[in-house]
Every structure is written in structure tokens, then in C-alpha cells.
Amino acid sequence: MKNKIKKVVLAYSGGLDTSIILKWLQDEYKCEVITFTADIGQGEELEPAKQKALSLGIKEENIFIKDLKDEFVKDYVFPMFRANALYEGEYLLGTSIARPLIAKTQAQIAIQTKADAVSHGATGKGNDQVRFELGYLAFNPELKIIAPWREWDLNSREKLLAYAQKHGIDISKKKGKSPYSMDANLLHISYEGLILENPTCPPEDDMWRWTKNPKEAPNESEIIELEFQKGDLVAINEKKLSPAELLTQLNKLGAKHGIGRLDIVENRYVGMKSRGCYETPGGTILLKAHRAIESITLDREASHLKDELMPKYASLIYNGYWFSPERLMLQALIDESQKYVNGKVKLELYKGNAIVIGRESANDSLFNAAYCTFEEDEVYNQKDAAGFIKLNALRFIIAGKNGRKF
């Protein structure tokens, strides 16, 4: 395949690994390399990535840096939160949901530049290789895929550093750079490796980069109000902002109050278990608030059906099937359920907790005090419950008369 590749689009961060991949592609495939860097809110300056690509011989017209923050939140994060998606009951899918957007944009650049291949820096052990490649092939099944970690013998940090030194690739450590394997975007930041590879060891206090230690968070709580329209966040404290700005603001609020830390062992799609730590301050608040507004606006059976389908939906995202027919089918059902999910939620933020203290919907609330009051009412006949219970118990009654024991 090496002789057939003329032009390749590389998902490029400017870090050590992808800089080595860039040089390796030039040397091994003798092909023209195009770099693509996605700004999805990782909080890093992207100009150094451009300068590093130039220093490695990439033509300026072959360097693509795209601001995808609003698209990421509007078309990926928000649809996922309409489903209240959690993988294995805990993980808010911060890395998983970013990969399809990167893959789609990378495949589009390949079409635009008439490249015949794409390349990524995901290892052969992880989930990201699956997520990227399913995304590429969904958009262009003719694309060839180069996954260096599945081809080269640079399978240790020492070999990577030796390769970088041999080829003059800058290996200087960025100021404040964490030694952990990290992934960051507007939704979260993740940590893997080092001491975290031992699931009995607690994470080190100085590992966390975004959130305050809940013990050191403010002693005064803060009350905020979130407004939803059709299941999506549209305003914080009555201030309407763009999707990316809303999540950025939620992240600041959550980080300030030590909200959103998570330490889990998860089941990777490739079959192994891995331990990861995550900070998802804004997403943690958003999930709490979204469930609160659904609690008064969503029909009981619609709500229960959503909860039954959610684990499947979350697994599809985790495993890389964002562009699959089954995810699109589930999304259509979920989005239909959100037509009346409109209103406001008040939360109190305090030392790692986001506590719902109120919810209201001017036109779409199904909460009716006249029916559920403990006081006297004129709309509900309590005697009706006897027949309701007896009909629901009828199968027990018939089976009991037939001698069956329960």
C-alpha cells in the first residue's frame, strides 16, 4: 500500500506523538502530508501546531486548523445530553463524542484536497482507533487508513524519544504539561497512565487540572438558573449564549465548586478494562438539570422508555457508531421526546455537588398539584384506585386459584 499513497491527511495536535507520525509518514510512505488540527475547546493555543508543522516541511496551504467548538456542542454534545447518556452508568462520554466530528472533518478535508488516505495517532489497544476509522469510512469508504501504532516498532516511550532526537523533532516539555496521557475538549478532560494503571491507587491531588478539590471549594454555595428549549440549554441566569459559550460558562461554574471529578474502571470496546479519571464540570451540571426539567415535562412512559434505551445509545457512542443507522434511529426517537422539554431549573452548587432546588415550565409542565396534593381535592376519586389495583392483580388472582405459589 505504501507505494500507492500519494497524499495523506493527518489528525495533528502538534504534540510529540503526532509530530513523530508526521515525519514517519514522510519517511515511510514518501507521500505529501496534510495536517488537520481541530479546535474543540481543548484550551491550548493552536498556532504552535502550525509552526511545528511548517518546521517539519509541511506547506502552509496543507495546514488546516478549524474552529469546531460551536458545531461540537450544538450537533454532538447537546444531542447526546438530550438522551442523558452515561456509559456504564457513570462516564459522560467526553472523549467518545468528540471523535466522530474530528473524523468527519478530516474525511471532508481529504475529499477537498484529493487525498487518498487519512492517518491518526490512536494506538492499537484503545477505543479511538475504532471511533476514528468508523467515522472515516462512513463518509468515504474509498479512503485508505494509516494507523502507525499498528505498523511501526516504536512501541515504547524510549523508542519514540530516540526517533524524535534522531530526526530533530522538538521534544521539549511544555510548561505545565501533565505527564499523564490526556485528552481535553469543551466537555471534559481525561487522564490515563502512570499511577492510574494501578486501580488500587488514588489519583494524585496535583493531577486534576480543571476543578478545585471539593474540600477547598468555596464555603458559600452558589445558585444558578438554567433554561431549556426542546431539551437543549439556551441560557444561564437568563443570559442567552452560543452553545460553546454556554458549556464554557458551565465549566467555569462547576470547576469553581469542585464539581465533575470521576475515577472509574471501564470496559473498552477492544475487550480490556482500563482505569481513567475525568473532569466534566459543565456536563455534570447539565445532566442534573436536564433530568430535572424532564421530570416535570416528560410523560411517564416516554421517560421510562428513554431510560431503557439510554444504555444502548451510550454504548453506540462509546464504541464509535455515531454515524450508524441505529444511532440515528434512536436520536430521532429521543429528539421527538424533547418537544415539550422547555423550562427552567435552579441548582445550588456546593463543594462537589450540583443540587436541584427548583424546576418550572410555564406551558409544558405535567405536574398538577390538584391531582397529587395531600389536601382535599375535587379532581381525583381515591375509590377508583381499588379497581385499578384489582385489575392489575388479576393474573395473580387467577394463578393463585389454580394453585400456583409466588
Is-catalytic flag, 128? yes
Lowest average pLDDT, out of 79-83, 95-99, 178-182, 262-266, goes to 178-182
pLDDT reading at 194 higher than 80: yes
Note whether 213 and 305 are same-domain residues.
Answer: yes
Query: Which amino acid type is present at position 39?
Result: D
Q: Is residue 169 within 8 Å of 52, Cβ to Cβ?
A: no
Tell whether 214 is covered by a domain: yes
Is-catalytic flag, 181? yes
pLDDT digits (tens, 9 = 90+) for 47-77: 889 999 999 999 999 999 999 999 999 999 9
Average pLDDT of the residues of the chain: 94
Q: What confidence category does residue 16 fall into, taking pLDDT thresholds of 50, 70 and 90?
A: confident
Q: What average pLDDT does the segment 368-379 reach? A: 74
Joined grid coordinates for residue 354? 450540583
Candidate list 70, 75, 116, 181, residue with the active-site label: 181
DSSP 269: T
Percent of residues, the chain, with pLDDT higher than 90: 83
Tell whether 175 is covered by a domain: no
Return the half-sphere exposure (C-beta side, CA atoms, 13 A cut-off) of residue 404: 8
Calpha distance 366→360 (Å, rounded): 10
Tell whether 174 is covered by a domain: no
pLDDT digits (tens, 9 = 90+) for 102-130: 999 999 999 999 999 999 999 999 999 99
pLDDT reading at 41 higher than 60: yes
Note whether 222 and 139 are same-domain residues.
Answer: no
Note whether 133 and 267 are same-domain residues.
Answer: no
Model pLDDT, residue 198: 97
Note whether 217 and 350 are same-domain residues.
Answer: yes
Tell whether 1 is covered by a domain: no
Classify residue 311 as exposed, middle or buried by CB count within 10 Å of its CB (0-12, 13-18, 19+): middle
Candidate list 17, 39, 183, 232, residue with the active-site label: 17
Which domain-ending residue is among 167, 202, 234?
167
Note whether 196 and 97 are same-domain residues.
Answer: no
Candidate list 39, 82, 99, 261, residue with the active-site label: 99
Q: H/E element holding 360?
A: strand 353-360
Note whether 109 and 211 are same-domain residues.
Answer: no
Name the binding residues for L-citrulline. 91, 96, 127, 131, 181, 190, 266, 278
pLDDT reading at 175 higher than 70: no
Q: What is the dihedral of CA 373, 379, 381, 384, to 10 degrees?
A: -100
Note whether 158 and 214 are same-domain residues.
Answer: no
Name the binding residues for L-aspartate. 123, 127-128
Which domain-ending residue is among 135, 167, 199?
167
Q: Is residue 62 within 8 Å of 112, Cβ to Cβ?
A: no
Name the binding residues. 11-19, 38, 91, 96, 121, 123, 127-128, 131, 181, 190, 266, 278
Calpha distance 347→226 (Å, rounded): 8
Is-catalytic flag, 17? yes
Q: Could you identify the residue written with the cell 409466588?
A: 406
Model pLDDT, residue 1: 63
What CATH number did the domain enclosing 281 receive?
Answer: 3.90.1260.10
Note whether 211 and 335 are same-domain residues.
Answer: yes
Note whether 351 and 373 are same-domain residues.
Answer: no
- Number of Cβ within a 10 Å radius of residue 399: 12
- Full-model pTM: 0.93
Note whether 115 and 192 are same-domain residues.
Answer: no
Tell whether 54 is covered by a domain: yes
Domain that holds residue 228: 181-360
What CATH number did the domain enclosing 53 receive?
Answer: 3.40.50.620
Candidate list 82, 119, 128, 232, residue with the active-site label: 128
What are the residues whose beta carbons fall under 8 Å from the beta carbon of 99, sequence distance 6 or more?
128, 131, 132, 135, 320, 322
Tell whether 86 is covered by a domain: no
Note whether 237 and 206 are same-domain residues.
Answer: yes
Tell whether 44 is covered by a domain: yes
Which domain-ending residue is among 108, 142, 167?
167
Q: What confidence category does residue 368 fall into, taking pLDDT thresholds of 50, 70 and 90?
A: confident
Note whether 197 and 325 are same-domain residues.
Answer: yes
Tell whether 172 is covered by a domain: no
What is the number of structural domains in the chain?
A: 3
